[in-house]
Structure 1
Protein backbone atom coordinates (compact mmCIF):
# COMPACT_ATOMS: atom_id res chain seq x y z
CA UNK A 1 0.00 0.00 0.00
CA UNK A 2 1.18 3.55 -0.80
CA UNK A 3 1.01 4.75 2.80
CA UNK A 4 3.18 1.97 4.16
CA UNK A 5 5.62 2.48 1.28
CA UNK A 6 5.77 6.16 2.21
CA UNK A 7 6.75 5.29 5.79
CA UNK A 8 9.42 2.92 4.51
CA UNK A 9 10.83 5.70 2.30
CA UNK A 10 10.84 8.06 5.28
CA UNK A 11 12.73 5.49 7.32
CA UNK A 12 15.24 5.01 4.53
CA UNK A 13 15.90 8.74 4.53
CA UNK A 14 16.35 8.59 8.29
CA UNK A 15 19.00 5.94 7.90
CA UNK A 16 21.05 8.36 5.83
CA UNK A 17 21.83 10.34 8.99
CA UNK A 18 25.00 9.34 10.77
CA UNK A 19 24.17 7.84 14.20
CA UNK A 20 25.11 10.40 16.81
CA UNK A 21 24.48 8.25 19.85
CA UNK A 22 26.74 5.28 20.49
CA UNK A 23 24.90 2.01 20.99
CA UNK A 24 26.44 1.31 24.36
CA UNK A 25 25.48 4.77 25.58
CA UNK A 26 21.89 3.87 26.41
CA UNK A 27 19.81 0.73 26.62
CA UNK A 28 16.05 0.80 26.26
CA UNK A 29 13.90 -1.36 28.50
CA UNK A 30 13.30 -3.47 25.41
CA UNK A 31 14.85 -2.56 22.02
CA UNK A 32 11.56 -2.08 20.18
CA UNK A 33 11.03 1.03 17.99
CA UNK A 34 7.27 1.01 18.66
CA UNK A 35 7.80 1.82 22.36
CA UNK A 36 8.90 5.21 23.69
CA UNK A 37 11.76 4.97 26.17
CA UNK A 38 13.42 8.29 26.97
CA UNK A 39 15.32 7.04 30.04
CA UNK A 40 18.65 6.44 28.21
CA UNK A 41 19.09 3.39 30.42
CA UNK A 42 18.97 5.36 33.67
CA UNK A 43 16.56 5.26 36.58
CA UNK A 44 14.54 8.36 37.39
CA UNK A 45 12.55 10.92 35.45
CA UNK A 46 12.68 11.18 31.66
CA UNK A 47 10.88 13.59 29.34
CA UNK A 48 10.21 13.69 25.62
CA UNK A 49 8.20 16.34 23.79
CA UNK A 50 7.43 16.53 20.09
CA UNK A 51 4.94 16.81 17.29
CA UNK A 52 3.83 14.57 14.46
CA UNK A 53 1.49 14.63 11.50
CA UNK A 54 -0.79 11.74 10.55
CA UNK A 55 -2.66 10.98 7.37
CA UNK A 56 -5.51 8.66 8.29
CA UNK A 57 -9.11 7.62 7.78
CA UNK A 58 -11.70 9.98 9.28
CA UNK A 59 -13.32 7.17 11.32
CA UNK A 60 -13.42 3.37 11.35
CA UNK A 61 -14.77 2.19 8.01
CA UNK A 62 -14.44 5.58 6.34
CA UNK A 63 -13.28 6.13 2.77
CA UNK A 64 -12.38 9.74 3.64
CA UNK A 65 -8.81 10.64 4.57
CA UNK A 66 -7.23 13.70 6.13
CA UNK A 67 -4.17 15.12 7.88
CA UNK A 68 -4.05 15.66 11.63
CA UNK A 69 -1.40 17.09 13.93
CA UNK A 70 -0.64 14.92 16.95
CA UNK A 71 1.45 15.66 20.05
CA UNK A 72 4.25 13.19 20.71
CA UNK A 73 6.39 12.25 23.70
CA UNK A 74 5.73 11.36 27.32
CA UNK A 75 6.66 11.91 30.93
CA UNK A 76 8.28 8.75 32.28
CA UNK A 77 9.67 7.37 35.52
CA UNK A 78 12.02 4.39 35.24
CA UNK A 79 12.96 2.09 38.08
CA UNK A 80 15.00 -0.88 36.96
CA UNK A 81 12.86 -3.00 34.66
CA UNK A 82 9.75 -0.87 35.14
CA UNK A 83 8.59 2.32 33.42
CA UNK A 84 5.58 4.34 34.52
CA UNK A 85 4.44 6.94 32.02
CA UNK A 86 1.93 9.61 31.14
CA UNK A 87 1.53 10.19 27.41
CA UNK A 88 -1.19 12.47 26.10
CA UNK A 89 -4.45 10.82 27.08
CA UNK A 90 -2.98 7.64 28.58
CA UNK A 91 -1.38 6.68 31.88
CA UNK A 92 0.35 3.33 32.11
CA UNK A 93 3.09 0.94 33.20
CA UNK A 94 5.29 -1.48 31.35
CA UNK A 95 7.70 -3.95 32.87
CA UNK A 96 10.25 -6.49 31.69
CA UNK A 97 10.20 -9.90 33.36
CA UNK A 98 12.85 -12.62 32.95
CA UNK A 99 14.22 -10.67 29.95
CA UNK A 100 11.64 -12.30 27.65
CA UNK A 101 8.26 -11.04 28.91
CA UNK A 102 7.17 -7.45 28.33
CA UNK A 103 3.96 -6.69 30.21
CA UNK A 104 1.98 -3.47 29.90
CA UNK A 105 -1.17 -1.98 31.36
CA UNK A 106 -2.64 1.43 30.62
CA UNK A 107 -5.79 3.46 31.01
CA UNK A 108 -6.50 5.65 28.01
CA UNK A 109 -9.14 8.10 26.86
CA UNK A 110 -11.10 7.08 23.79
CA UNK A 111 -12.71 9.78 21.68
CA UNK A 112 -16.23 8.99 20.52
CA UNK A 113 -17.41 9.14 16.93
CA UNK A 114 -19.38 12.20 15.84
CA UNK A 115 -21.66 12.64 12.86
CA UNK A 116 -19.44 15.52 11.73
CA UNK A 117 -16.46 13.17 11.36
CA UNK A 118 -17.73 12.51 7.84
CA UNK A 119 -17.48 15.53 5.55
CA UNK A 120 -19.67 13.70 3.05
CA UNK A 121 -22.48 13.18 5.58
CA UNK A 122 -22.25 9.37 5.67
CA UNK A 123 -22.75 9.38 9.47
CA UNK A 124 -25.80 11.65 9.48
CA UNK A 125 -28.58 10.16 11.58
CA UNK A 126 -26.34 7.72 13.45
CA UNK A 127 -25.93 10.00 16.47
CA UNK A 128 -22.78 10.52 18.49
CA UNK A 129 -20.84 7.93 20.42
CA UNK A 130 -19.87 8.88 23.95
CA UNK A 131 -16.27 9.43 24.94
CA UNK A 132 -14.85 7.22 27.66
CA UNK A 133 -11.90 5.40 29.16
CA UNK A 134 -10.47 2.06 28.12
CA UNK A 135 -8.24 -0.41 29.90
CA UNK A 136 -5.52 -1.92 27.71
CA UNK A 137 -3.51 -4.99 28.74
CA UNK A 138 -0.65 -6.20 26.58
CA UNK A 139 1.98 -8.92 26.69
CA UNK A 140 4.88 -9.64 24.37
CA UNK A 141 6.93 -12.84 24.60
CA UNK A 142 10.38 -12.71 23.03
CA UNK A 143 11.32 -15.78 20.97
CA UNK A 144 15.00 -14.81 20.87
CA UNK A 145 17.21 -13.23 23.52
CA UNK A 146 17.81 -10.13 21.37
CA UNK A 147 14.08 -9.49 20.80
CA UNK A 148 14.44 -10.25 17.10
CA UNK A 149 11.11 -12.11 17.06
CA UNK A 150 8.20 -12.14 19.48
CA UNK A 151 4.56 -13.03 20.04
CA UNK A 152 2.17 -10.22 20.94
CA UNK A 153 -1.29 -10.18 22.53
CA UNK A 154 -3.49 -7.27 23.58
CA UNK A 155 -6.90 -6.91 25.22
CA UNK A 156 -8.90 -3.67 25.14
CA UNK A 157 -11.93 -3.42 27.39
CA UNK A 158 -14.26 -0.64 28.45
CA UNK A 159 -17.85 0.49 28.26
CA UNK A 160 -18.14 -0.41 24.56
CA UNK A 161 -17.20 -4.09 24.67
CA UNK A 162 -13.98 -6.01 24.29
CA UNK A 163 -11.34 -6.34 21.59
CA UNK A 164 -8.43 -8.78 21.39
CA UNK A 165 -5.31 -8.83 19.22
CA UNK A 166 -2.85 -11.66 18.61
CA UNK A 167 0.16 -11.72 16.32
CA UNK A 168 3.88 -11.99 15.68
CA UNK A 169 6.55 -9.35 15.28
CA UNK A 170 10.05 -8.88 13.96
CA UNK A 171 12.71 -6.24 14.66
CA UNK A 172 15.35 -5.12 12.16
CA UNK A 173 18.73 -3.70 13.18
CA UNK A 174 21.07 -4.44 16.08
CA UNK A 175 20.57 -1.30 18.18
CA UNK A 176 19.68 -1.66 21.86
CA UNK A 177 18.53 1.96 22.29
CA UNK A 178 15.05 1.44 20.80
CA UNK A 179 15.88 2.73 17.32
CA UNK A 180 15.49 0.80 14.09
CA UNK A 181 12.57 -0.87 12.32
CA UNK A 182 9.77 -3.13 13.53
CA UNK A 183 6.88 -4.97 11.85
CA UNK A 184 3.92 -6.77 13.43
CA UNK A 185 1.35 -8.98 11.68
CA UNK A 186 -1.82 -9.45 13.70
CA UNK A 187 -5.35 -10.84 13.77
CA UNK A 188 -7.97 -8.78 15.61
CA UNK A 189 -11.14 -10.10 17.25
CA UNK A 190 -14.08 -8.30 18.87
CA UNK A 191 -17.18 -9.31 20.80
CA UNK A 192 -20.66 -8.41 19.55
CA UNK A 193 -20.92 -5.29 21.72
CA UNK A 194 -17.67 -3.83 20.40
CA UNK A 195 -18.56 -4.82 16.83
CA UNK A 196 -21.99 -3.18 16.91
CA UNK A 197 -20.71 -0.06 18.60
CA UNK A 198 -18.44 0.55 15.62
CA UNK A 199 -20.37 -0.94 12.71
CA UNK A 200 -23.89 -1.83 13.88
CA UNK A 201 -27.03 0.18 13.06
CA UNK A 202 -30.06 -0.16 15.33
CA UNK A 203 -33.66 0.50 14.35
CA UNK A 204 -33.65 4.10 15.58
CA UNK A 205 -30.44 4.89 13.68
CA UNK A 206 -31.78 3.15 10.59
CA UNK A 207 -34.92 5.26 10.62
CA UNK A 208 -32.94 8.49 11.07
CA UNK A 209 -30.17 7.73 8.58
CA UNK A 210 -31.95 5.75 5.89
CA UNK A 211 -29.35 2.98 6.20
CA UNK A 212 -30.30 -0.66 6.65
CA UNK A 213 -30.46 -1.93 10.22
CA UNK A 214 -27.35 -4.04 10.84
CA UNK A 215 -26.43 -6.38 13.70
CA UNK A 216 -23.00 -7.97 13.90
CA UNK A 217 -21.84 -10.98 15.87
CA UNK A 218 -18.52 -11.36 17.63
CA UNK A 219 -15.51 -12.96 15.98
CA UNK A 220 -12.78 -11.98 13.56
CA UNK A 221 -12.70 -8.23 12.99
CA UNK A 222 -9.65 -7.85 10.76
CA UNK A 223 -6.11 -8.84 9.87
CA UNK A 224 -3.46 -6.21 9.77
CA UNK A 225 0.15 -5.14 9.60
CA UNK A 226 1.84 -2.26 11.40
CA UNK A 227 5.26 -0.76 10.91
CA UNK A 228 7.36 1.39 13.26
CA UNK A 229 10.62 3.25 12.71
CA UNK A 230 12.71 5.28 15.15
CA UNK A 231 16.05 7.02 14.66
CA UNK A 232 18.21 9.11 16.97
CA UNK A 233 19.42 12.14 15.05
CA UNK A 234 21.66 13.17 17.96
CA UNK A 235 21.67 12.96 21.75
CA UNK A 236 18.42 14.89 22.10
CA UNK A 237 16.52 14.76 18.81
CA UNK A 238 14.63 11.71 17.61
CA UNK A 239 12.54 11.10 14.48
CA UNK A 240 9.90 8.42 14.06
CA UNK A 241 7.52 7.03 11.44
CA UNK A 242 4.64 4.60 11.71
CA UNK A 243 2.10 3.02 9.40
CA UNK A 244 -0.92 0.77 9.84
CA UNK A 245 -3.05 -1.23 7.41
CA UNK A 246 -6.08 -3.17 8.67
CA UNK A 247 -8.25 -5.25 6.32
CA UNK A 248 -11.76 -5.89 7.63
CA UNK A 249 -13.48 -9.27 7.80
CA UNK A 250 -16.35 -10.07 5.43
CA UNK A 251 -18.96 -9.42 8.14
CA UNK A 252 -17.59 -5.96 8.93
CA UNK A 253 -17.36 -5.11 5.22
CA UNK A 254 -21.09 -5.79 4.84
CA UNK A 255 -21.98 -2.98 7.26
CA UNK A 256 -23.19 0.24 5.55
CA UNK A 257 -20.83 2.14 7.85
CA UNK A 258 -17.82 0.38 6.30
CA UNK A 259 -17.58 2.35 3.09
CA UNK A 260 -14.04 1.02 2.68
CA UNK A 261 -12.73 -2.52 3.08
CA UNK A 262 -9.79 -1.32 5.14
CA UNK A 263 -8.47 1.24 7.59
CA UNK A 264 -5.05 2.83 7.12
CA UNK A 265 -2.85 5.56 8.54
CA UNK A 266 0.71 6.82 8.23
CA UNK A 267 2.53 9.27 10.47
CA UNK A 268 5.89 10.97 10.89
CA UNK A 269 7.24 13.26 13.59
CA UNK A 270 10.08 14.53 15.77
CA UNK A 271 10.67 14.32 19.52
CA UNK A 272 13.07 16.31 21.69
CA UNK A 273 14.41 14.29 24.66
CA UNK A 274 15.33 16.42 27.68
Structure 2
Protein backbone atom coordinates (compact mmCIF):
# COMPACT_ATOMS: atom_id res chain seq x y z
CA UNK A 1 0.00 0.00 0.00
CA UNK A 2 2.77 2.48 0.89
CA UNK A 3 4.54 1.71 -2.42
CA UNK A 4 1.36 2.45 -4.38
CA UNK A 5 0.86 5.73 -2.52
CA UNK A 6 4.45 6.76 -3.26
CA UNK A 7 4.07 5.93 -6.96
CA UNK A 8 0.85 7.93 -7.34
CA UNK A 9 2.23 10.92 -5.41
CA UNK A 10 5.38 10.84 -7.55
CA UNK A 11 3.26 10.75 -10.70
CA UNK A 12 1.24 13.75 -9.55
CA UNK A 13 4.45 15.60 -8.74
CA UNK A 14 5.67 15.06 -12.30
CA UNK A 15 2.35 16.25 -13.71
CA UNK A 16 2.53 19.38 -11.59
CA UNK A 17 5.87 20.19 -13.19
CA UNK A 18 4.57 19.78 -16.75
CA UNK A 19 1.02 21.06 -16.26
CA UNK A 20 0.34 24.53 -17.58
CA UNK A 21 -1.82 26.81 -15.46
CA UNK A 22 -1.38 29.92 -17.60
CA UNK A 23 -4.73 29.48 -19.31
CA UNK A 24 -6.47 29.00 -15.95
CA UNK A 25 -4.89 31.86 -14.03
CA UNK A 26 -7.91 34.07 -14.65
CA UNK A 27 -10.19 31.69 -12.76
CA UNK A 28 -10.98 32.86 -9.25
CA UNK A 29 -12.53 30.05 -7.17
CA UNK A 30 -14.73 30.70 -4.17
CA UNK A 31 -11.98 29.29 -1.93
CA UNK A 32 -8.42 28.63 -3.20
CA UNK A 33 -8.19 25.08 -1.82
CA UNK A 34 -7.66 21.93 -3.93
CA UNK A 35 -10.28 20.01 -1.94
CA UNK A 36 -13.05 22.50 -2.84
CA UNK A 37 -13.75 22.23 -6.55
CA UNK A 38 -15.07 25.28 -8.42
CA UNK A 39 -15.75 24.90 -12.14
CA UNK A 40 -17.26 28.36 -12.55
CA UNK A 41 -15.48 31.36 -14.02
CA UNK A 42 -17.15 34.06 -12.01
CA UNK A 43 -20.97 34.22 -11.94
CA UNK A 44 -22.94 31.70 -13.96
CA UNK A 45 -22.83 28.01 -14.71
CA UNK A 46 -19.82 25.72 -14.35
CA UNK A 47 -19.65 22.11 -15.47
CA UNK A 48 -16.87 19.58 -14.96
CA UNK A 49 -17.05 15.95 -16.07
CA UNK A 50 -14.47 13.22 -15.56
CA UNK A 51 -13.48 9.93 -13.97
CA UNK A 52 -11.43 8.92 -10.98
CA UNK A 53 -9.82 5.60 -10.06
CA UNK A 54 -9.54 4.73 -6.37
CA UNK A 55 -7.76 1.89 -4.59
CA UNK A 56 -9.39 1.53 -1.21
CA UNK A 57 -10.57 -0.67 1.65
CA UNK A 58 -13.47 -2.87 0.56
CA UNK A 59 -15.51 -1.74 3.59
CA UNK A 60 -14.99 -0.07 6.97
CA UNK A 61 -12.37 -2.10 8.86
CA UNK A 62 -11.56 -4.39 5.94
CA UNK A 63 -8.15 -5.90 5.23
CA UNK A 64 -9.19 -6.38 1.58
CA UNK A 65 -8.41 -3.66 -0.95
CA UNK A 66 -9.94 -3.16 -4.38
CA UNK A 67 -9.94 -0.65 -7.25
CA UNK A 68 -13.06 1.33 -8.03
CA UNK A 69 -13.93 3.71 -10.86
CA UNK A 70 -16.14 6.66 -9.93
CA UNK A 71 -17.50 9.64 -11.85
CA UNK A 72 -15.91 12.99 -10.97
CA UNK A 73 -16.92 16.60 -11.37
CA UNK A 74 -20.38 18.12 -11.14
CA UNK A 75 -22.71 20.92 -12.15
CA UNK A 76 -22.48 24.28 -10.36
CA UNK A 77 -24.13 27.68 -10.50
CA UNK A 78 -22.40 30.63 -8.89
CA UNK A 79 -23.72 34.03 -7.93
CA UNK A 80 -21.33 36.27 -6.02
CA UNK A 81 -20.08 34.41 -2.95
CA UNK A 82 -22.57 31.56 -3.30
CA UNK A 83 -22.33 28.26 -5.21
CA UNK A 84 -25.16 25.78 -5.65
CA UNK A 85 -23.94 22.37 -6.81
CA UNK A 86 -24.87 18.86 -7.83
CA UNK A 87 -22.11 16.25 -7.61
CA UNK A 88 -22.73 12.52 -7.70
CA UNK A 89 -25.45 11.67 -5.18
CA UNK A 90 -25.32 15.03 -3.41
CA UNK A 91 -26.87 18.44 -3.95
CA UNK A 92 -25.83 21.42 -1.87
CA UNK A 93 -24.85 25.02 -1.32
CA UNK A 94 -21.66 26.67 -0.14
CA UNK A 95 -20.92 30.28 0.61
CA UNK A 96 -17.98 32.46 1.65
CA UNK A 97 -18.42 35.01 4.43
CA UNK A 98 -15.97 37.82 5.24
CA UNK A 99 -13.31 36.08 3.09
CA UNK A 100 -12.42 33.81 6.02
CA UNK A 101 -15.47 31.59 6.67
CA UNK A 102 -16.69 28.86 4.33
CA UNK A 103 -20.12 27.40 5.11
CA UNK A 104 -21.45 24.36 3.28
CA UNK A 105 -24.52 22.17 3.50
CA UNK A 106 -25.58 19.30 1.29
CA UNK A 107 -27.98 16.39 1.05
CA UNK A 108 -26.59 13.05 -0.08
CA UNK A 109 -27.20 9.33 0.01
CA UNK A 110 -25.05 6.90 1.99
CA UNK A 111 -25.09 3.32 0.73
CA UNK A 112 -24.95 0.47 3.20
CA UNK A 113 -22.46 -2.38 3.41
CA UNK A 114 -23.37 -5.66 1.71
CA UNK A 115 -22.17 -9.17 2.50
CA UNK A 116 -20.70 -9.38 -1.00
CA UNK A 117 -18.35 -6.48 -0.26
CA UNK A 118 -15.97 -9.07 1.20
CA UNK A 119 -14.71 -11.50 -1.42
CA UNK A 120 -13.20 -13.59 1.39
CA UNK A 121 -16.60 -14.12 3.03
CA UNK A 122 -15.73 -12.08 6.12
CA UNK A 123 -19.21 -10.49 6.14
CA UNK A 124 -21.27 -13.67 5.62
CA UNK A 125 -24.26 -13.76 7.94
CA UNK A 126 -24.17 -10.06 8.78
CA UNK A 127 -26.72 -9.04 6.18
CA UNK A 128 -26.86 -5.57 4.66
CA UNK A 129 -26.31 -2.49 6.82
CA UNK A 130 -28.72 0.42 6.57
CA UNK A 131 -28.64 3.01 3.79
CA UNK A 132 -30.18 6.44 3.88
CA UNK A 133 -30.25 10.16 3.15
CA UNK A 134 -27.63 12.19 5.00
CA UNK A 135 -27.24 15.88 5.77
CA UNK A 136 -23.75 17.38 5.78
CA UNK A 137 -22.97 20.63 7.61
CA UNK A 138 -19.45 22.02 7.28
CA UNK A 139 -17.58 25.12 8.44
CA UNK A 140 -14.01 26.06 7.49
CA UNK A 141 -12.19 29.05 8.93
CA UNK A 142 -9.07 30.55 7.37
CA UNK A 143 -6.31 31.46 9.81
CA UNK A 144 -4.45 33.47 7.14
CA UNK A 145 -5.66 35.67 4.30
CA UNK A 146 -4.53 33.23 1.58
CA UNK A 147 -6.08 30.16 3.30
CA UNK A 148 -2.59 28.76 3.87
CA UNK A 149 -3.79 27.44 7.25
CA UNK A 150 -7.39 26.64 8.21
CA UNK A 151 -9.63 24.85 10.70
CA UNK A 152 -12.39 22.48 9.61
CA UNK A 153 -15.52 21.13 11.31
CA UNK A 154 -18.12 18.79 9.79
CA UNK A 155 -21.21 16.95 10.98
CA UNK A 156 -22.78 14.19 8.88
CA UNK A 157 -26.15 13.03 10.17
CA UNK A 158 -29.17 11.08 8.98
CA UNK A 159 -30.94 7.73 9.17
CA UNK A 160 -27.61 5.90 9.49
CA UNK A 161 -26.44 7.89 12.54
CA UNK A 162 -24.15 10.85 13.16
CA UNK A 163 -20.47 11.42 12.47
CA UNK A 164 -18.48 14.45 13.68
CA UNK A 165 -15.19 15.47 12.06
CA UNK A 166 -12.85 18.12 13.44
CA UNK A 167 -9.50 19.01 11.93
CA UNK A 168 -6.95 21.43 10.59
CA UNK A 169 -5.09 21.75 7.33
CA UNK A 170 -2.47 23.60 5.35
CA UNK A 171 -2.09 24.39 1.67
CA UNK A 172 1.35 23.80 0.15
CA UNK A 173 2.28 25.69 -2.99
CA UNK A 174 -1.35 26.60 -3.57
CA UNK A 175 -2.25 29.17 -6.20
CA UNK A 176 -5.14 31.66 -6.31
CA UNK A 177 -6.85 29.48 -8.95
CA UNK A 178 -7.26 26.60 -6.44
CA UNK A 179 -4.39 24.38 -7.56
CA UNK A 180 -1.66 22.86 -5.41
CA UNK A 181 -1.31 20.45 -2.50
CA UNK A 182 -3.48 20.39 0.61
CA UNK A 183 -2.60 18.37 3.73
CA UNK A 184 -4.91 17.86 6.68
CA UNK A 185 -5.40 15.96 9.94
CA UNK A 186 -8.76 15.13 11.51
CA UNK A 187 -10.29 13.48 14.56
CA UNK A 188 -13.67 11.76 14.15
CA UNK A 189 -16.44 10.81 16.56
CA UNK A 190 -19.61 8.77 16.03
CA UNK A 191 -22.85 8.12 17.88
CA UNK A 192 -23.93 4.63 18.92
CA UNK A 193 -26.20 4.15 15.91
CA UNK A 194 -23.44 4.73 13.35
CA UNK A 195 -20.87 2.88 15.45
CA UNK A 196 -22.98 -0.29 15.53
CA UNK A 197 -24.05 0.06 11.90
CA UNK A 198 -20.40 -0.20 10.85
CA UNK A 199 -18.81 -2.29 13.61
CA UNK A 200 -21.50 -3.80 15.84
CA UNK A 201 -22.82 -7.38 15.80
CA UNK A 202 -26.35 -7.90 17.14
CA UNK A 203 -27.79 -11.15 18.46
CA UNK A 204 -29.20 -12.39 15.17
CA UNK A 205 -26.05 -11.45 13.25
CA UNK A 206 -23.99 -13.32 15.84
CA UNK A 207 -26.08 -16.46 15.35
CA UNK A 208 -25.92 -16.24 11.54
CA UNK A 209 -22.24 -15.31 11.24
CA UNK A 210 -20.61 -17.01 14.20
CA UNK A 211 -19.03 -13.71 15.28
CA UNK A 212 -19.32 -12.69 18.94
CA UNK A 213 -22.13 -10.29 19.80
CA UNK A 214 -20.63 -6.80 19.96
CA UNK A 215 -22.01 -3.44 21.04
CA UNK A 216 -19.84 -0.42 20.21
CA UNK A 217 -20.14 2.71 22.35
CA UNK A 218 -20.47 6.19 20.95
CA UNK A 219 -17.48 8.51 21.15
CA UNK A 220 -14.04 8.57 19.59
CA UNK A 221 -13.82 6.76 16.25
CA UNK A 222 -10.49 7.55 14.56
CA UNK A 223 -7.66 9.91 13.70
CA UNK A 224 -7.00 10.52 10.04
CA UNK A 225 -4.55 12.18 7.67
CA UNK A 226 -5.40 13.25 4.14
CA UNK A 227 -3.76 14.78 1.08
CA UNK A 228 -5.52 16.52 -1.82
CA UNK A 229 -3.97 17.66 -5.09
CA UNK A 230 -5.35 19.62 -8.07
CA UNK A 231 -3.69 21.11 -11.14
CA UNK A 232 -4.63 22.39 -14.59
CA UNK A 233 -2.95 20.59 -17.47
CA UNK A 234 -4.34 23.22 -19.85
CA UNK A 235 -7.31 25.56 -20.06
CA UNK A 236 -9.89 22.76 -19.79
CA UNK A 237 -8.28 19.67 -18.26
CA UNK A 238 -7.70 19.18 -14.54
CA UNK A 239 -5.80 16.37 -12.85
CA UNK A 240 -6.63 15.63 -9.22
CA UNK A 241 -5.49 13.20 -6.57
CA UNK A 242 -6.35 12.29 -3.00
CA UNK A 243 -5.07 9.97 -0.31
CA UNK A 244 -6.44 9.06 3.12
CA UNK A 245 -5.06 7.10 6.06
CA UNK A 246 -7.36 6.64 9.08
CA UNK A 247 -6.33 4.91 12.34
CA UNK A 248 -9.19 3.50 14.42
CA UNK A 249 -9.61 3.83 18.15
CA UNK A 250 -9.49 0.73 20.36
CA UNK A 251 -13.30 0.28 20.58
CA UNK A 252 -13.51 0.11 16.77
CA UNK A 253 -10.37 -1.93 16.14
CA UNK A 254 -11.49 -4.50 18.78
CA UNK A 255 -14.69 -5.21 16.83
CA UNK A 256 -14.70 -8.65 15.10
CA UNK A 257 -15.71 -6.84 11.90
CA UNK A 258 -12.44 -4.89 11.93
CA UNK A 259 -9.75 -6.97 10.24
CA UNK A 260 -7.44 -3.94 10.23
CA UNK A 261 -6.97 -1.16 12.75
CA UNK A 262 -6.88 1.35 9.90
CA UNK A 263 -8.59 2.33 6.66
CA UNK A 264 -6.74 3.65 3.62
CA UNK A 265 -7.51 4.85 0.13
CA UNK A 266 -5.76 6.60 -2.72
CA UNK A 267 -7.14 7.94 -5.97
CA UNK A 268 -6.30 9.89 -9.10
CA UNK A 269 -8.46 11.24 -11.89
CA UNK A 270 -9.09 13.78 -14.63
CA UNK A 271 -11.87 16.33 -15.13
CA UNK A 272 -12.78 18.26 -18.26
CA UNK A 273 -14.03 21.75 -17.35
CA UNK A 274 -16.44 23.19 -19.90
- Which category describes the TM-score, using the shorter chain as reference length? over 0.9
RMSD (CA atoms): 1.2
8 Å contact from structure 1 (residues 51, 71) kept in 2: yes
Distance 1:18 1:268, change over 3 A: closer
1-structure distance, mates of 2:131, 2:3 = 32
C-alpha deviations, 1:58-108, integer Å up to 9, x for none?
A: 100000001111100100000111110000111011110000000100111
| C-alpha separation in 2, matches of 1:221 and 1:2 | 27
Runs of at least 4 residues off by over 4 Å: none
2:30 matches 1:10: no
1:32 has 2:33 as partner: yes
1:76-155 aligned at under 5 Å gives the runs 76-155=76-155
Which ranges in structure 1 are unaligned for 5 or more consecutive residues? none
CA contact (8 A) 1:7 1:242 kept: no
What is the number of equivalent residue pairs in this alignment?
A: 273
Tell me the CA shift for residue 161 of structure 1: 1.3
Q: Which moved more, 1:65-74 or 1:169-178?
A: 169-178
Sort the Cα spacing of 1:212 and 1:143 in 2 relative to 1 into closer, same or farther, 3 A. Answer: same
Q: Does 1:19 align with 2:20?
A: yes
Q: 1:10 deviation in Å? A: 2.6
Structure-1 separation of matches of 2:38 and 2:12: 19
Deviates more, 1:46-55 or 1:21-30: 21-30
2: distance between equivalents of 1:191 and 1:20? Answer: 44
SS at match of 1:25: coil
Shift of 1:18: 4.1
Where structure 2 has 5 or more consecutive residues not aligned to the other structure, the ranges are: none
Shift of the alpha carbon at 1:131? 2.2
Give the corresponding residue for 1:156. 156
Q: TM-score, normalised by structure 2?
A: 0.97
1:3, 1:265 within 8 Å by CA — same for their partners in 2?
no
SS in 2 for 1:16: helix
Greater shift in the superposed pair: 161-170 or 11-20: 11-20
Shift of 1:20: 3.6
